[in-house]
Amino acid sequence: MTTTLHPGDSLSRRQRLVYVFVLGALTALGPFTIDLYLPAFPALQRDLGVTPAIIQLTLTATTIGFGVGQLLVG
């Protein structure tokens, strides 16, 4: 009788935990970045001498970057 092996069958418990931790950290990276970035808007605006709209565009670019990264990498 033959046994069918699945890709996850060869991973040890430690390797599975590492994968879960890494995937969880990558998933949390987007919201964590935005939570750190939003409170800095007034300081960025003041230090760079730009309008609020320009600072908001940087957040838009960050969000688009995360979205495109998800589409390309998965």
What whole-number distance in Å separates Cα of residue 38 and Cα of residue 56? 9
Q: Is residue 45 part of a domain?
A: yes
With a cut of 80, say whether residue 9 has pLDDT above it: no
Q: Is residue 34 part of a domain?
A: yes
Is 44 within 8 Å of 19 (Cβ atoms)? Answer: no
φ/ψ of residue 14, rounded to 5: -65, -45
Q: Is residue 37 part of a domain?
A: yes
Q: Is residue 39 part of a domain?
A: yes
Q: Is residue 14 part of a domain?
A: no
CA 25 to chain centre: 8
Q: Is residue 71 part of a domain?
A: no
Residue 40 belongs to domain spanning: 30-60
Q: Is residue 65 part of a domain?
A: no
Q: What is the DSSP string of 25-57?
A: HHHHHHHHHHHHHGGGHHHHHHHHT--HHHHHH
Number of domains in the chain: 1
11-53: per-residue pLDDT in tens? 888 989 999 999 888 888 888 888 988 999 999 999 999 999 9
Q: Is residue 1 part of a domain?
A: no
